[in-house]
């Protein structure tokens, strides 16, 4: 009898571990999706800013006031 109850106890533990793992994966997936969406929003904002700069330059106009021009990280300029 102790073998049968031991098997049941192990089965319950296995099920609990499986459920915990599933919950952890679900949380990780939500976090990954949130990070992906934040990165996507940042990329779209950068694309819009660069497009506005490019169009202003092509039209010979000064860049829009709300667009910040940053030369940081562009190398030595050679």
- The total number of structural domains in the chain stands at 1
Hey, what long-range contacts does 8-12 have (CB within 8 A, 24 or more apart)? none
Q: What average pLDDT does the chain have? A: 83
Q: Which of 41, 40, 65, 37 is CA-nearest to residue 52?
A: 65
Residue at 65 is within a domain: no
Give the model's pLDDT for residue 2.
60
Give the model's pLDDT for residue 44.
96
Distance CA 40, CA 34 (A): 10
Handedness of CA 67, 64, 75, 40 (dihedral sign): positive
Q: What is the DSSP letter of 62?
A: P
- Among 2-16, 41-55, 60-74, whose mean pLDDT is lowest? 60-74
Q: Which residues form the domain of 37?
A: 1-59
pTM: 0.54
Residue at 50 is within a domain: yes
Residue at 69 is within a domain: no
Residue at 7 is within a domain: yes
Give the mean model confidence (pLDDT) for residues 60-69: 68
Residue at 36 is within a domain: yes
């Amino acid at each position: 009898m102790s073998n049968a109850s031991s098997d049941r106890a192990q089965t319950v533990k296995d099920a609990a571990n499986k459920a915990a793992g599933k919950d952890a994966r679900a949380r990780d997936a939500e976090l990954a999706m949130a990070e992906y969406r934040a990165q996507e929003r940042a990329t779209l904002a950068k694309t819009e800013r660069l497009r506005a700069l490019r169009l202003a330059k092509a039209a010979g106009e000064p860049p829009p006031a709300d667009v910040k021009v940053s030369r940081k990280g562009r190398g030595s300029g050679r």
